[in-house]
Structure 1
Amino acid sequence: MRVFALRAFALITLLFLAWQASAAVLPQDRSDIMYHRYEGDGVTIDGPSVLLRKKVGNHVSVSANYYVDTVSGASIDVRATASPYEETRKETTIGSDFLHEKTLLSVSYTNSSENDFEANSVYVGISQDFFGDLSTISLSYSKGWDEVGRRGDEEFSEEADRQKFGLGFTQVLTKSLIVGLNAEHISDEGYLNNPYRSIRFLDPNSSQGFSFATEIYPNTRSSNAYSINANYYLPYRAALYADARVYSDSWGIEAQNYKFGYLHPYKGFLLDVFVRYYTQEAADFYQDIFDRQNQFNFMARDKEMSTYSGVTLGVGLSYEWQFSQSALIKKSSINFEYDYMDFDYEDFRDVTAEAPVGEEPLFGFAASVVKLYGSIWY
């Protein structure tokens, strides 16, 4: 069962591939095939994804996505308490969009499976254009059911339920500027921690001065996120884009994310460069080291629950071929993106280093993500 950050990466990659059409317009018929690779903190994730989308008449579009990623290696958490591992996750999504005048209804079902984790979720979203198609409002709801296992322990079985509510508003302010506002509320209940993660606590009977014990999390969590994004089209067909997002939850985590990018087209090519900055405050029950094993009711040492910040620099390049509208294939494109990420943790120490307890160097790592995919429209 991988760390939250890796799951987030997989989700972001999938959403990047599964292009979404604007409201009141059915998604175009297209097929995508992608390969992605992540390397960082001693872990490698890679695999393919295939997306197919096809209209049925003028009011319905259906889609299917198959996604595979293989995880191998050992992050800092694993290196401290266990040996490297390898696992494969397979995810399948089927969905449909229904268009009625200026209203678009989208539904989908997703199953994600690996050797110690099974997740199922459903999604429903609706969007409506109004004010001469210059404004769009959207509502969404998703519900997920997770089954959590543990490698080597067939008796271990836990469950978690997740719900997500979304509200969005997009407005064309001028012929060059589009602004969007979004709000999300997420509610989780059940087994919400990772059965492989451990806290560390002071132990004078241990040769290293500390020992490990399983993390203990609350069984409920609610979170809220608010974001604003803008796209500004420049006179020479290029564009600037930016977004800002704030997040807080009932565990005490507060986070901010800012992104700024530039798009520049040139003779069929499209260059995309961006920078993203992320910062987060730790959960209330997080500590790098505890005084004793059962010091508090809830205790966590997952580095993703700590105070940390990260910077991502990304560059993407795509090329598009246009064909006759009477041809079987209307157009195609090939796309490449490379992201470099650097993370620094303010209160999570590298316990694999040789140093006195509590004086180990603070942890940090760099990672890279490569995405290569091709698309055809028909």
Structure 2
Amino acid sequence: MAVTNLLYVVGSLILMTFSGLSWAITLPKDKAEATYHYYDGGGVEVTGPALFVRKSVVDSVSVAGAYYVDEISSASIDVESYASPYEEERTEYSLSADYVEEDAKISITYVNSDESDYQSNTFHFDYVEEFFGGLTTASLGYSSGSDDVLSNISDFKDSADHDFYRMGLAQVVLPEMVVRVNYEHISDRGFLGSPYRKSVVNGVLFDENLPRTRRSNAFSVGADYFIETWSTAIKAQYRYFSDTWDIKADDFRLSATKSLQTHWIIEGWVRYYGQSSASFYQDQFASVFTYRSRDKELSDFDSYSLGLGVEYLFQDVSWLKTPSLAFGAEWIRYQYNDFYEYLNGDFNQNNNKQLYEFDATVAYVSFSTNF
């Protein structure tokens, strides 16, 4: 699931044109977009298309639909340790509507995700309003998700529910600069692990067992700065995360987007992410604790990434308005600080192990147009 979520975010990074900083609330433009995404790293390969269409139905209402596919082939270190390589497909559908009235916008979205052993349904509600002549923008949001967790190798079945609260504030502090602050709270309940993953106790495999509740908080602060003489927008953001599983994480991101003449836009970004391990995570346990996991995503690890994206803007053709072709790639380095790789999956070979690390590549190509 972590790889899929990462790919969904990165694969949707279609570059935006900066012709000055303007945050007036308006109805999104009618748009169609087709994207192909690719991920390869840690023995996992994910590919697939994504389609998106948005259309105004009246002056103040716009509706949109999206279709997203992941073709997943996995021979990750988890699979090598506990199971056999596998292939599966995940499909996702979403429908949304935006309503704009003067200085406010309401957005409602439904998302359905389906794969052979995991189904989820999520509803999103967001409200955005401008104040003080558009200098201040406030936002509130809520999401509710319900998941069914299954297994392809047993009759296992369980469920999980998620509530996601968010609020944000953006303030124009200079004609060319905006500062943003955001807060998020997530409440998870139910089965929050994997029916396949194992923990290791003195070299012996046991099913992992995670708490059935989790509460998370995240706070972020960032700034967008536009340099008109260079036709360049610079964005910086820091995000701090903590939860009731004792995970704490720092996330830094810096990006620059530049217009080249009239047809080209280029964006580059760097990112660092680091987190501490969950209180019930261990690479190997000395005894059978109530809660235990060897999920590397709950361990102490760092990641570094470097990305580049390019967009070419075509001239209008017939009913196509500002059509564009975008493509980009991101390199990511993962370094785990207390998760080890064992030769041939033999967890008793403590003298023949090494800390796990790997490189991943994310790439996308996308064509979009207004109409």
TM-score calculated relative to the size of structure 2: 0.94
- Name which of 275, 282, 292 aligns with 2:270: 275
Residue of structure 1 in register with 2:124 after alignment: 123
Q: AA paired with 1:110?
A: V
Q: Using the alignment, how far apart are the partners of 2:156 and 2:24 within structure 1?
A: 44
Cα pair 1:80 1:352 within 8 Å, conserved = no
Q: Using the alignment, how far apart are the partners of 1:146 and 1:132 within structure 2?
A: 42
Provide the aligned C-alpha RMSD in A: 1.7
Question: Any idea what SS the aligned residue of 1:132 has?
Answer: helix
2:288 equivalent to 1:287: no
Q: Using the alignment, how far apart are the partners of 2:276 and 2:206 within structure 1?
A: 23
Question: Any idea what SS the aligned residue of 2:4 has?
Answer: helix
Cα pair 2:191 2:212 within 8 Å, conserved = yes
Corresponding residue pairs, total: 362
Kindly provide the CA deviation profile for residues 189-222 of structure 1, in whole angstroms up to 9, marking residues without a partner as x: 00001111111111xxxxxxx1211110000000
Q: Using the alignment, how far apart are the partners of 2:91 and 2:177 within structure 1?
A: 39
Residue of structure 2 in register with 1:12 after alignment: 9
Residue of structure 1 in register with 2:61 after alignment: 60
Residue of structure 2 in register with 1:163 after alignment: 163
2:180 equivalent to 1:188: no
Residue of structure 2 in register with 1:145 after alignment: 146
Q: AA paired with 1:163?
A: D
Residue of structure 1 in register with 2:174 after alignment: 174
User: For structure 1, which runs of at least 5 residues remain unmatched after alignment?
Assistant: 203-209
1:212-291 alignment, distance < 5 Å:
212-234=205-227, 235-267=229-261, 268-291=263-286
Q: AA paired with 1:47?
A: G
Kindly provide the CA deviation profile for residues 227-258 of structure 1, in whole angstroms up to 9, marking residues without a partner as x: 11211111221121111100000000000100
Q: Using the alignment, how far apart are the partners of 2:12 and 2:163 within structure 1?
A: 18
Q: Using the alignment, how far apart are the partners of 2:242 and 2:303 within structure 1?
A: 17
Cα pair 2:335 2:356 within 8 Å, conserved = yes
Kindly provide the CA deviation profile for residues 37-60 of structure 1, in whole angstroms up to 9, marking residues without a partner as x: 000011100000000000112100
Give the direction of change, closer, same or farther, for the CA distance of 1:368–1:287 in structure 2 (3 Å limit): same
Residue of structure 2 in register with 1:205 after alignment: none
Q: Using the alignment, how far apart are the partners of 2:209 and 2:15 within structure 1?
A: 36
Give the direction of change, closer, same or farther, for the CA distance of 1:23–1:106 in structure 2 (3 Å limit): farther
Q: Using the alignment, how far apart are the partners of 1:256 and 1:358 within structure 2?
A: 32
2:26 equivalent to 1:25: yes
Q: Using the alignment, how far apart are the partners of 1:15 and 1:329 within structure 2?
A: 21
Moved more, 116-125 or 234-243: 234-243
Q: AA paired with 2:244?
A: S
Residue of structure 1 in register with 2:19 after alignment: none
Residue of structure 1 in register with 2:354 after alignment: 361
Kindly provide the CA deviation profile for residues 313-348 of structure 1, in whole angstroms up to 9, marking residues without a partner as x: 001111112428xx5222111101100000100000
Q: Percent identity over the alignment?
A: 35
2:299 equivalent to 1:306: yes
Question: Any idea what SS the aligned residue of 1:138 has?
Answer: strand
TM-score calculated relative to the size of structure 1: 0.92
Q: AA paired with 1:319?
A: Y
Cα pair 1:218 1:298 within 8 Å, conserved = yes
Question: Any idea what SS the aligned residue of 1:173 has?
Answer: strand
Q: Using the alignment, how far apart are the partners of 1:264 and 1:127 within structure 2?
A: 28
Give the direction of change, closer, same or farther, for the CA distance of 1:29–1:18 in structure 2 (3 Å limit): farther
Q: Using the alignment, how far apart are the partners of 2:365 and 2:315 within structure 1?
A: 20
Question: Any idea what SS the aligned residue of 2:27 has?
Answer: coil
Q: AA paired with 1:375?
A: S
Q: Using the alignment, how far apart are the partners of 2:195 and 2:149 within structure 1?
A: 8
How many Å apart are 1:87 and its aligned residue? Answer: 0.4
Higher relative contact order (CA 8 A, sep 6+): 2
User: For structure 2, which runs of at least 5 residues remain unmatched after alignment?
Assistant: 17-21
Give the direction of change, closer, same or farther, for the CA distance of 1:162–1:55 in structure 2 (3 Å limit): same
Q: Using the alignment, how far apart are the partners of 1:16 and 1:265 within structure 2?
A: 16
Q: Using the alignment, how far apart are the partners of 1:273 and 1:181 within structure 2?
A: 23
Cα pair 1:31 1:53 within 8 Å, conserved = yes
How many Å apart are 1:262 and its aligned residue? Answer: 1.4
How many Å apart are 1:16 and its aligned residue? Answer: 3.5
Q: AA paired with 1:12?
A: V
How many Å apart are 1:88 and its aligned residue? Answer: 0.1
2:101 equivalent to 1:92: no
Q: Using the alignment, how far apart are the partners of 2:35 and 2:156 within structure 1?
A: 35
